[in-house]
Structure formats: C-alpha cells, structure tokens
Structure 1
Amino acid sequence: MRPIPRSSRFANGGVSFWFRENGLPERRAPLPGDGDYDVCVVGAGYTGLWTAYYLKKDQPDLRVCVVEREFAGFGASGRNGGWLSAEFSGSQEDYARSHGKAAMVALQRALMNTVDEVVTVARAEDIDADVVKGGVRLIASNAAQRERLETHIDYLQEWGYWPDDIHMVDLDHAPPVSVHGAVAAGYSPHAARVHPAKLVTGLARVVEALGVEIFEDTAVTEIRPREGADRPTVVTEHGTVRADHVVRATEGFTSTLRGQRRRWRPMYSSMIVTEPIAPELWERIGWEGRELLRDSAHSYVYAQRTADDRIAIGGRGVPHRFGGSEDKEGATQPQAIAELWRSLTGMFPDVADVPVEHAWSGVLGVPRDWSPTVNLDTGSGLGWAGGYSSSGVSTSNLAGRTLRDLILGRSTDLTRLPWVGHEVRGWEPEPLRWVGTQVVRGLYRTADRRESRTEGNGHTSRFAGLATRMPGN
C-alpha cells in the first residue's frame, strides 16, 4: 500500500472534521441549579433533540429541558458518516417473532418515510445541512460479494422493500461511479447525504427557539426512577432535575451512567476525509448524483461525496476498546486510518495522491442482539431509545416521534411498531466482551481476504459463517 499523503493541515480527533469545518459551537450555560420540568431529556444528540422538537411542536406548553455533558452534537450525531438512510441494523426475524411479519414490514416502511421526514423538516426549519437525496449504491468487488449482495437484496424484498425500493443495477447503464474492480451493484433511492454537524447544530437552534432549555457542560451521574410520590430525577454535578418523564438519549455513552454499564456496548467507528478533489479527477470518478456508497465486504466501509468535493469514508477500524474506555477527543488509531485509506484507494485509485486532511472516530451504543429499541416505562417515568448500531441518523428521528407519542399517551401506528418495548439482556463482562469482539473481527477480516483472492468460487467464506454464529456478533 502506498503511504498516505497527509495535508499540512492533517488533524486527528478534535471531535470531527464536520465540526472543524462548521466551527465548534459556542457553549450554552450549564444547569443553574435544581429544576422542575414536564420532560427532561438526557443527551443533546439527534435522539434527544428530535424528541424535544416533536414534543414542543405538538404541545407548546410543555416544559422541556435537555441536559448535555458536553455540547449539542458532541457524540455520534456530530461524528457520523452523514448517511441518512432507511437501512435497519436489527434482526427482522426477532421482531417478527414477537409482533408478526406485517409489523416488521411496517417498521421498514416507516424508516423509508423517515428519510423524507428529515429532509422535509430540515427544509421547513431552514436547516442548511448540505442535504442531497441521491439514494445509496451498494458495491460488490468479487464473486462472493456479488452473491451475497444479490441474496441480501432478495431478502430485503421479503421484509418491506419492494423492487422499486432496492434492486440490482446494470453497471453499464447506471449513472457512472467509477469504483475500481466493481463486478455488481445494487441501488436504493431511500437515502440522502447530510452534513452531520450542520444538521445537529441547526436542530439544536430550532429546538431552543421553540422554548426548550438546553443545558450544556452538565454531566449526569444518575437517572432515578419514580418512587412512590417522588417523580423521576436526573442527578447532575450542578443540581437535580425533577420531571414527569425522563428520557435517556445517551446512545454510546449509556455505559457511563450508574447501573447501565453492560446495557449497550460502546463500539467505535472511524473516519477519514480527503482534501477537496480536483475537477479532472471527478471527471474520471463520476459520482455526479452524490449518492451514498457502501461496499459489500464483511468489514464494510461507507462513503459520501461532500458538498465541497471531498470523499469522506468510514468503517469499524478498531471497534471495541477494552472496558469500553472513552476517547473524548475523537482521535482514531493509525491502524484504522491505514485500513480506511486502503479501502478508499482500492475503490478509487485515482485519489492515491490526494492528501488526507482529517481523521476522527465516534462511539455507538450496540445492544447484544444489535437491534435498536424505543421504550417508555409508565411506572418509573423513564423512557429511552438507542442501540441504532449503524443507522442512527434516520432511526433517531423515528425514535423521537415515537417517544413523543408514548409520552403524550397516544396509541398510534408508531407506538405499535415492533421495536417499541423491545428488551435484550446485557453484554458479558470484560474481558469476555473484548475477547469476543476481537475474535469476530478477526474472522470477518480473514473472510474478506480469502474472498478477494478466490477465483471462480464465488461463495461466502466459511470464516464469516463462524463469525456470524458467535453470540453478539
């Protein structure tokens, strides 16, 4: 692999390139002391802000506050790959077993509608987030990946995607994206490119204008349920907030709360972004439709063409750190940078001399069954949503609308979706969790290497089969 060209402005961490480009927001004041509200949301990422937005839009007299340890969008909401898509990370079969196949199909269709919902709200609220709804293209680079992609599309068409929603495309007649070595491709129109930091900071501005109080630099140490006549409480370093309902919207940082350490596993995704690419290179690459791009490897990568003509590409470089340790600054490890560069130049050899300008990472919250959930416990007064794994930009919006209906006591199509109330047991303690993650990651990467070298076989490697069967893969 050729050395990675690095810009003189090359940065690693600093939250994310998105915030470096957009500018870090001016910090809002922390909680001034004890408070009393109708709804207190913990976490000012997409989930928390969408929940507050829809509550105040539907019931303006509600007293709503959002409490955030850092600043709005500090976590995955400001660090992700800018993929607003209808992809669903959970198990369709698990939800169908509990609620029936029709309910799972309804959930998938709701996610497709969610893509349009976010685009519509951003436009209506004057949030300029570089949104382009170009769909998503799925690329296969060898025979095994092609077989797996075709099987995956057939599978999705049994679970809520119709042929117009996802299908294989003829590379000779599709809009040109010159991915080196591509042997097949699929396409879905239900996806849009966004600038994550612009979306989350714009949403925070809109929510505040609606009358929601956002308190930043306010670390929450504990969320206590309703006990007897006492209301749920949020304990912070600056005071205690009491509310009729408390929503935990902490995603990858959930394990930092008392009693939540094993609920969701912190998993890290890493990203790099190039300097702006010259027009003559774009003429060779194509990608005029600005669709999202993902490969079909087991250790897959995802990419977008940014508004200022860079390529931003991400993947699970070093997904799990022992003990779920935090990296507050978003720095990513050299190994992850090298792996992403290898994937980028493998797909687009023409950019091999374009410097990398920024690398960063973000943490996701992953349930043991990889299936996201939304819930409101009316007895304790506590609600929560998360565990999105790899589809949080869209899923968080659907979660926010669902939490609104649950908190307002409505029975709607959203509250009847099968992820509402879904529960799963916690992860194993360390070091079992770390060891298992390393084994699964190693098996998938071995499978990718073997599939790329296999000629004429065209089948998924048995190493991937072993990884898939491991608990909590």
Structure 2
Amino acid sequence: MDVKKNGGISFWYDDMGGIPAYRAPLPGDLDVDVCIIGAGYTGLWTAYYLKEAQPDLNIAIVEREFAGFGASGRNGGWLSGGFAWSRENYLDNGTRQGVMDMERALLGVVDEVIRVADAEGIDADIRRTDCLTYACSPAQMKRLRAEYDQSIAWGVPQDRLALIGADEAASRIRVKNAHGALVSHGVARVQPAKLVRGLAAAVERRGVRIYEQTAVSAISKGCVETDRGRVRADRIVRATEGYTSSIKGAEREWVPLNSAIVVTEPLPQSMWDDLGWEDYQLLGDASHAYCYAQRTREGRIAMGGRGVPYRYGSGTDTRGQTQPETIAQLKGILARLLPQTRGIGLHQAWCGVLGVPRDWCATAGIDPATGIAKAGGYVGVGVSTSNLSGQTLADLVLDRRTERTDLPWVNRKVRRWEPEPFRWLGIHAMYRLYHMADRREARQGGAETSMLARLANKITGR
C-alpha cells in the first residue's frame, strides 16, 4: 500500500501544522450555568449562540481529548445543508409543513456558517460550489430521478437542485460510466479542522472555558461527573455524537458508525484538466455503499467511504488509525470513478465515527425534568446540521420557544439499538448486502434497485 502516513487524527491537522497543544483540564469541582460535554461542532455552536443571546452566561465545555478531536476534525468537509434522512419518519412528531420548514432551515445553514466564519475571522478554506452526485448505472440514475422528484414534491426550491444527463455530467467532472448526476446548488467546501479550531477560539474570546483532557463518565440532573472533578450546572448539553455510547446509560442510543478517508498526493494541473474538475465541486455517487470527495485547497483529492462500518460493542477507533483493507477499498473507489488518477499516490488515511440513531434520523431536544439537552445522530451531514443544532439547543437551554424549537426533529423519541451481538450482525449484514447490491446492479445493468439493497434497508430500518 502506497500510503505514506497511516495514522494520526487526520490530514486536516497536518495541513494546519500538526495536532494542537492541549488546553488545561478541569482543575477540580466547578459551578457554572451551562456545562457542555464535547468540544466538536455541536458543542461549540451551542456555546456560540448561547453567548450571542446571553453574554453573561457562565459556560464550561468539557472535552475528553481536544477541541475538534472527533468527527468535527476528520470529516469530508461537505457544508451541504442537506436533508439526509427519511422525511416520513419526522411526521410522527410534526406535520408535513413542519418537515418542509426543517429542510428550509437546513438550507439556510450554509450562509449562516459562512457569515460567522467571516465575522470571526475564521479562515477555513471555505469555497461556495455545487455538490454532484453521479449515477454510474441505470439503477443509480433511476434512484437519483426518484430523489429529485421527492425533494421537489417536499418543497425544495428548484433553484437549489437539478438533474442533469450524461453529457452535462461529463462536462463537470469526467466520472467513468456516468449516466447523469444530481446537482445540489448552494453548498460549500470547507477545511473542517480549521473551522472547528476557529470556532473554539471564537467562543473562548466570548468567555467560554474549554477544559480538555477531561473524560465524562456520567450525567445526571445538575451534575456532570468527570475524571477531573464534578461540574454542577442548571443546564447540561450532551454534544457527544459518535462517542455517545461511552456515557453511562446511553450505550445503545446511537451507534458509532465508522467512516474513513484517504487523501492523495497533489495532482498536477494536467490531470485536473483531464478530469475537468475545475470548480472545486463536491463529488459523490449514488451507490448503496456511497462515497464522498472534495478537491482540497492545495490540489489533492480527499475521498471517503464506510470501510469497516462498525466495531463490536460500539467501539471507536484508536486516534484515527484505519485498516489496510479500508484503504484498499477507498483507493479502488477512486480508481473506479476517476481512472485518470491511478498513477497518483495516497498521502494519508484516517477514520472516525459518526452517530447513528436506530431510525437513522437526527434529533435534538431537552428533558425539562432534568435540564439535560442533546443533539446528534447526523448520519454523515454533521458539518451543516450541527449549526442548526447549536441554534436550537441554545433556544431550548434558555427556555425560548422559537420557530426552531417547533421543528419536528425536536424532542423526538427514538427506540434504542438492539444489544450485542444483534446490532453488530445487523449492521455488518446491511453493508455486506449493499456491496453485493452495487456489484449486481453494475453487472446486470438494469434500471431496478437490487432486492438485496431493499432487504438491507428492511433489516436496519433505514
């Protein structure tokens, strides 16, 4: 395997000069107005909007590692504002109009993140662009048509979404065997670690204290137990996303699903010309075991996908290290979509976890009896969704009823995942079936989605 560096948290930190120096841990017992657990996007956005609304709030953030250690510093850098979940699932806690309002709120997040980055002087390589999801078989193209039709029927503005044919798709990026693509306008590419570190500095300037190297073991009304002391707070925000299973009592709430990324060596300009990838568009495909990619600031391709999807017992990775078979899979996906890149070496590979609820739909909410708020379960679109979470959680913590707090994802009840070994078997069976379905669709060339994929969806409730 030609990866020069396999390990470390992510390429994004190398791009910034390395892992940052740790902030001091919690010095002992502490009393605050609000304690936030987790210094990733969700926790930091919540602190930011709380301080905007009420500057005199005494807020502490406790973080097991360092700000941006988890998915916030390792993701694919898609600031999409996308709605990646079943709209119908949200009807159990709201109306059709409420779901449409939620989707519009998410679409507005891209502008909001860029506004805050500009206001706070956060240079995160943000570039407005389009997201292109390519279909490389008739079945994939049929799914994209259905997705487009459904999105328009649910009120997505037609100026935000387009379905293009093979010729136009090839004129954007020369993906092999492209039958067409779904184009999402109004998205942006970001350097995710720069964004999360800049946001951490911004909330510190407002007086928020971030305590790193502080592991939380339990949460109860008014109290956060850590290995460094006890934090007492009227309001507590659990912003742990893919690491939620480490909290006592939340072991089966959201499973940590693994995602991995490889980044190439810089491509020569002649290869970019050959690819036709000129406008820094985000790139994905419509396979069941989908991928996601971006063109980085310095001319590399960062390509991500699932790899080994789940570790037994809701285990998480070891500081971003990923397996050789995962690297090989991602290299194969890159070569399949963009065979022009076969001669380009891989520079680095890493992985991380994202939180997945049992119904694969994000939630936010607060328990008024305990004052404990939470948000997460983004299923891969956390760069944008976490901003809406932060705005919503700030409203809930301050007991403000707003348009955001009435959205149908707020205070939804989702059943827990099955105990082991059933969840390990179910998740691995799902992805095995997805890979088999992709191979079958590519081999047979028909327009119908494989029954194997339908079975996988039924098994896991997607």
Q: Once the 2 structures are TM-superposed, how far is the Cα of residue 180 of structure 1 from its aligned partner?
A: 1.4
Candidates 157, 182, 189, aligned match of 2:185: 189
CA contact (8 A) 2:321 2:351 kept: yes
Partner of 1:133: 128
Residue 403 of structure 2 corresponds to residue 409 of structure 1: no
Hey, what's the Cα distance between the residues in 1 that align with 2:115 and 2:69? 24
Partners of 2:84 and 2:217 lie apart in 1 by: 29
- State the partner residue of 1:459: 448
**Paired amino acid for 1:190:** G
Residue 367 of structure 2: which of 355, 373, 377 is its match?
A: 377
| Counterpart for residue 408 of structure 2 | 418
Partner of 2:289: 299
User: Could you tell me how far apart the structure 2 residues matched to 1:336 and 1:161 are?
Assistant: 35
1:162 aligns with 2:157: yes
The one-letter code of the counterpart of 1:463 is L
What amino acid maps onto 2:13 in structure 1? F
CA distance in 2, matches of 1:462, 1:260: 34
Residue 6 of structure 2 is aligned to residue 12 of structure 1: yes
| 1:469 matched to 2:458 | yes
* Equivalent runs, 1:221-300 vs 2, <5 Å: 221-225=217-221, 232-300=222-290
1:324 aligns to what SS in structure 2? coil
CA contact (8 A) 2:283 2:294 kept: yes
What are the ranges of 5 or more consecutive residues in structure 2 without an aligned counterpart?
Answer: none
Q: Helix, strand or coil for the counterpart of 2:163?
A: strand
SS in 2 for 1:376: strand
Cα deviation for residue 136 of structure 1 reads 0.5
User: Cα distance, 1:123 vs. partner?
Assistant: 1.2
Match of 1:447 among 416, 437, 440: 437
List, as ranges, runs of 4+ consecutive aligned residues in structure 1 with deviation greater than 2 Å: 170-176
Q: CA deviation at 1:171?
A: 4.3
Asked if the contact 1:89–1:370 (Cα under 8 Å) also holds between the matched residues in 2, the reply is no
Q: Is the 8 A contact 1:295 1:301 kept in 2?
A: yes
* Percent identity of paired positions between Structure 1 and Structure 2: 50
Q: How many equivalent residue pairs?
A: 460
When structure 1 is superposed on structure 2, of 278-287 and 163-172 the one drifting more is: 163-172
**Aligned 1:14-163 pairs, distance under 5 A:** 14-22=8-16, 23-163=18-158
Q: Give CA deviations for 1:73-128 in whole Å, capped at 9, x if unaligned.
A: 00000010001112223220011243110000000010000111111111111100
Q: Which amino acid aligns with 1:236?
A: T
State whether residues 106 and 160 of structure 1, in contact with CA within 8 Å, keep that contact through their aligned partners in structure 2: no
TM-score w.r.t. structure 2 length?
0.98
The separation in 1 between residues aligned to 2:273 and 2:84, in whole angstroms, is 34
Q: Is the 8 A contact 2:93 2:412 kept in 1?
A: no
Partner SS state of residue 186, structure 1: strand
The one-letter code matched in structure 1 to 2:248 is R
Map of 1:205 onto structure 2: 201
Deviation at 1:160, TM superposition (A): 3.1
1:218-255 Cα distance to aligned partner (Å, 9 max, x none): 01111112xxxxxx111111110101100000011110
The one-letter code of the counterpart of 2:455 is: L
**Which residue type is aligned with residue 57 of structure 1?**
E
Q: Is the 8 A contact 2:430 2:460 kept in 1?
A: no
Q: Is the 8 A contact 1:82 1:304 kept in 2?
A: yes
3-state SS in 2 of match to 1:157: helix
Letter in 2 for 1:249: A
**Conserved 8 A contact 2:84-2:381:** yes
Rounded to whole Å, the distance in 2 between the matches of 1:421 and 1:265 is 19
Q: Does 1:314 align with 2:304?
A: yes
Say which of 341, 347, 353 aligns to 2:343: 353
- DSSP 3-state at the match of 1:104: helix
1:133-162 superposed Cα distances (whole Å, 9 cap, x missing partner): 102111000111111111111111122312
Is the partner of 1:241 in helix, strand or coil? strand
Name the SS of the counterpart of 1:172 in structure 2: helix
Contact preservation (8 Å) 1:45, 1:77: yes
Aligned-partner residue type, residue 280 of structure 1: S
Deviation at 1:53, TM superposition (A): 0.6
What code does the residue aligned with 1:363 have? V
Residue 358 of structure 1 aligns to a residue in which SS?
strand
Residue aligned with 1:134, SS: strand
**Separation (CA, whole Å) in 2 of partners of 1:458 and 1:91:** 22
Whole-Å separation in 2 of the counterparts to 1:110 and 1:203:
21
Q: Distance in 2 between matches of 1:259 and 1:177?
A: 47
Residues 93 and 409, structure 2, Cα contact 8 Å, conserved in 1: no
Q: What's the offset of the Cα at 1:438?
A: 1.4
Question: Could you list the runs of 5+ residues in structure 1 that have no partner in the other structure?
Answer: 226-231
Deviation of the 1:170 alpha carbon: 3.9
Letter in 1 for 2:260: S
Structure 2 match to 1:229:
none
**In 2, Cα distance between equivalents of 1:138 and 1:317:** 19
Deviation at 1:325, TM superposition (A): 1.6
Other-structure match for 1:215: 211
One-letter amino acid of the structure 2 residue matched with residue 354 of structure 1: I
Query: SS of 2:127's equivalent?
Result: coil
Q: Deviations over 1:22-63 (max 9, x none)?
A: 121111000011111110000000000000011112211000
Does the residue aligned with 2:129 lie in a helix, a strand or coil? coil
The whole-number CA distance in structure 1 between the counterparts of 2:55 and 2:269 is: 48
